[in-house]
Amino acid sequence: MTSPLLDVRALSVEFQTTEGPLRVLRDVSFDVAPGETFGLAGESGSGKTTLGYTILQALAPAARITCGAILFEGRGSLARERR
Ligand SMILES: Nc1ncnc2c1ncn2[C@@H]1O[C@H](COP(=O)(O)OP(=O)(O)OP(=O)(O)O)[C@@H](O)[C@H]1O
Ligand SMILES: [Mg+2]
């Protein structure tokens, strides 16, 4: 079995807003194999762009990873413990 190129594990992300924390990603897990095409579908506001920015380490300052890990080529690019 080929090891995944990208492995997203139990990822949770929230934004700090004036009305308090807004949990946008909750326990998101998936992996993508080398050469595999991965599609992500969801209604507007469901967090697709937030997920992409998180993987690219380009999250807005108001956002933070509260839980989970992202492994690229088996190495951790981002990881946080649950607080
Ligand atoms: N900088 C931000 N500050 C606070 N909340 C934000 C911020 N960016 C996005 N959000 C909120 O995060 C949630 C997910 O937004 P996101 O843009 O990731 O959704 P999306 O699935 O890409 O939507 P669309 O299909 O419209 O592009 C929404 O509730 C949005 O209002
Ligand atoms: Mg979007």
DSSP secondary structure of 8-71: EEEEEEEEEETTEEEEEEEEEEEEE-TT--------TTSSHHHHHHHHTT---TTEEEEEEEEE
- Binding site membership of 60 for ligand 1 (Cβ less than 6 Å): yes
pLDDT tier, 83 (very low <50, low <70, confident <90, very high otherwise): very low
Flag whether pLDDT at 49 surpasses 90: yes
Spell out the domain ranges in the chain.
6-80
Strand partners, 11: 28
Q: What is the pTM of this model?
A: 0.91
Structure tokens at 36: 């595999």
On whether the CB atoms of residues 17 and 38 are closer than 8 A, the answer is no
Please say whether the dihedral angle defined by the alpha carbons of residues 68, 69, 70 and 74, taken in this order, is positive or negative.
negative
- How far does the centroid of ligand 1 lie from the alpha carbon of residue 50, in Å? 6
Q: Which ligand is nearest to the CA of 45?
A: 1
- How far does the centroid of ligand 1 lie from the alpha carbon of residue 2, in Å? 33
Mean pLDDT over 40-45 rounds to 97
